[in-house]
Amino acid sequence: MTELDPRTPVLVGAGQVSERIDEDGYRRLSAVDLAAEAASAALADSGAEPSAVAAALDIVAGIRQFEISAPGAFAPLGRSDNYPRSVAHRLGASPARAILDVVGGQGPQHLVTELAASIAAGEAEVALAFGSEAISTVAHLAGAEDRPDFTEDVGGQLEDRGLGLRGLATRQQVLHELIDPPTQYSLFENARRARLGLSREDYAAAMGELFAPFSKIAATNPHSAAPLERSPAELVTPSASNRPITDPYPRYVVAREKVNQGAAVLVMSVAAARELGVPSEKWVFLHGHADLRERDLSRRQDLSAAPAAVRAVRHALEVAGIGLDDVAAMDLYSCFPIAVFALCDGLGLATDDVRGLTLTGGLPFFGGAGNNYSMHAIAELLARLREQPGAYGLIGANGGLLSKYSAGVYSTTPRPWHASRDAELQAELDAGPAPEDVVHADGWATIETYTLKHGRDGAGTGVVVGRLESGQRFLANTEPGDDEMLARLGKGEPIGTRVFARSFGFGNRVTTTPGRMAGLFPPRPPGFRESYEHVLVRRDGHVLEVTINRPQARNSLHPEANSELDEVFDAYFADDELWVAILTGAGEKAFSAGNDLAHTASGKSLWVPKNGFAGLTSRRELPKPVIAAVNGYALGGGLEIVLACHLVVADARARFGLPEVRVGLAAAAGGLVRLPRAIPKAVATELILTGRRLDADEARSYGLVNRVVEAGTAMEGARALAAEILEGSPTSVRASLRIMAETEGIADTADAVNLPSGALDELLVSEDTIEGVTAFAQKRPPRWRNR
């Protein structure tokens, strides 16, 4: 054997374990149990004494289960507080480091590469990577009277790397129901179909032809969750058991998540392998590797391709010093057809390559073992390469929305460790051209790609990625009941056709024409309603009094309350007879406690109108005065409303604060921008970062509050202030507010003073100016006409 650096990393063991709930001997194993059995098998597979290997472990690295892979995820049967160490304890190991990796199917290959690099750098000698899922068992037993308790409290050191969801679940994606993998991947699939000019029928046939060989391999794999061979037509023909999930996916071509599977891989240095007595015929070397990331969904130039994944595979082969033709066996991540198609397109690889594209049977058939699928692929590859000494094998592992790709090239042929150029290649990918995206889409647009989300009773919601005539990209949904648009998406070729987009606080909507849009969303009648559900409205001459009427929720706001306030302020700004508005909260405890988090916790969508929180915080201009009458707490969004108002009257009990950081949020409705501009920046920073509250007097001392009045008299104080404003010309008041807004961002005082303003021109020829001058000369009170 070629003389190697003793620190050269080598894979020496792999193990897999599985069970199905419908088979004899079903043991109801937890995720920890499954991983521990797979890890024990990996240690034994090395040919060394398992207890000696366990004692030598420096690092154990676990792949995150699905039930701890999303914010607020719940483990119905309980879980370990330190998954890697729970597994280690079952092995009798006490490693120095325990790692819990981020979400994503790239994790297994990424971890193997990382552990190998640590060993090559002399930072560790022996490391174990593993993962497992007991999703099928959890679903099966969650409601059982004798359900097991998988809770484990082991404590100890843990390097929990978090969820790693950056760019995978943006606010726009959540708002437009684009968070589940079938919907996300369908967009890429349909974009590819359109690029190739294929009909729906021809593309479905191609998906069936691609995946039929996968199901054949899965049928013979003892660890498969669905060991059943299916024909190409059976895979893509809708039926009672193969119902449509999203267009173009029926259930059989979607990753199967209900599995009970575990897999583990053992990595160590050559020196450790020799010391522990691992036979050299067990050794498999990582010849090449790469880890690259695709741009976020909205910034990808071509939604039908996966350039980062293709580049990762090419670079792994480059590091290994071989070409794709030199590879004898491969496993390409196959959560959905596009994940395989995109690699084949970019690599020039035939989808019916005689070498096969999977070793396990693929995620729809072998099973989509959470984030851990590729650990099984690596385990299968190690066994294959040991049977073919000197051959090369390729692993392609995908995570996110074709987002994160890790590739590895393996062989029993000894080779020193080689570093990759990931950082350099990532910089090149990030520097490429990208479309501009837009949050609010209005006007004619073109469908770039789309999907239909199917309920059990048929098509439910359409999801569209569109381009405005400006070229800006946006996300949108169809509106429930819009059969005309659903028909557009469900037949023929929608991509490239024109649609009409309109934006709302709850997201963008697309339909066929402006007339159709007006029918779906009739214009709101101008003016005020007779009554509102969450708001009280009172007119008193030229003053409008608006009361947030949710005292039972401390006047916190949910979408319906926000929408009513938005409507009320639209009517106020449009009503020539209303010159000043006062906003307050019902009861004595709170002006507003901000967002209704209880509403969000119940699983309901939390959105705000385009004009922002309370219909105020995102308006570019408030053309007439709005006074906040703060009675009690103004917290979070409540303070953001206050900051958006022109004037603030607070009673002595008022308290102001931005507590978002204490609940894992941020004051994104203007608080982070307005507060540092309203009070000294150092004080604002302290309030934002700590959640500390100001009382009324301190708030006034910083200029946040105009007037402090006795407890319980905020409205009286606000009315008095409004009366003082009404003594002036409403035309002058509006012009003054407009000029203040126009010059706010101009740093140079002289430039601001000399800025030409149409508001001043209009004021000088107004009837109110003439009346004001005349009344002054005649020594009488002016009679303002508001024009």
Model pLDDT, residue 263: 98
Model pLDDT, residue 601: 61
Q: Which of 450, 488, 441 is nearest to 468 (CA)?
A: 441
721: three-class secondary structure by DSSP = helix
Which one from 660, 744, 762, 771 is the annotated catalytic residue? 660
Which one from 114, 640, 727, 762 is the annotated catalytic residue? 640
336: three-class secondary structure by DSSP = coil
- CA 690 to CA 658: how far, in whole Å? 8
Mean pLDDT along residues 433-452:
96
Give the C-alpha distances (Å, rounded to integers) separating 620 from 250, 256, 513, 611. Answer: 46, 48, 29, 8
Position 276 pLDDT exceeds 60:
yes
- For residue 475, what are the β-bridge partners? 465
Model pLDDT, residue 1: 45
> Does the annotation mark 660 as catalytic?
yes
Phi and psi angles of residue 516, each rounded to the nearest 5 degrees, phi first: -65, -40
Name the pLDDT band for 459 (thresholds 50, 70, 90): low
- CA 630 to CA 585: how far, in whole Å? 7
- CA 635 to CA 616: how far, in whole Å? 16
Summarised one tens digit per residue, pLDDT across range 738-749 is 888 888 888 888
Mean pLDDT along residues 110-122:
98
- What is the amino acid identity at position 125? E
Q: Which two tokens mark 139?
A: 């679903």
Summarised one tens digit per residue, pLDDT across range 184-231 is 999 999 999 999 999 999 999 999 999 999 999 999 999 999 999 999
> Does the annotation mark 209 as catalytic?
no
Name the pLDDT band for 442 (thresholds 50, 70, 90): very high
Question: Is-cis flag, bond preceding 248, omega within 30?
Answer: yes
Model pLDDT, residue 603: 63
- What is the amino acid identity at position 229? E
Mean pLDDT along residues 379-406:
97
Summarised one tens digit per residue, pLDDT across range 521-566 is 998 888 999 999 999 999 999 999 999 999 999 999 999 999 999 9
Mean pLDDT along residues 7-26:
96
Name the pLDDT band for 602 (thresholds 50, 70, 90): low
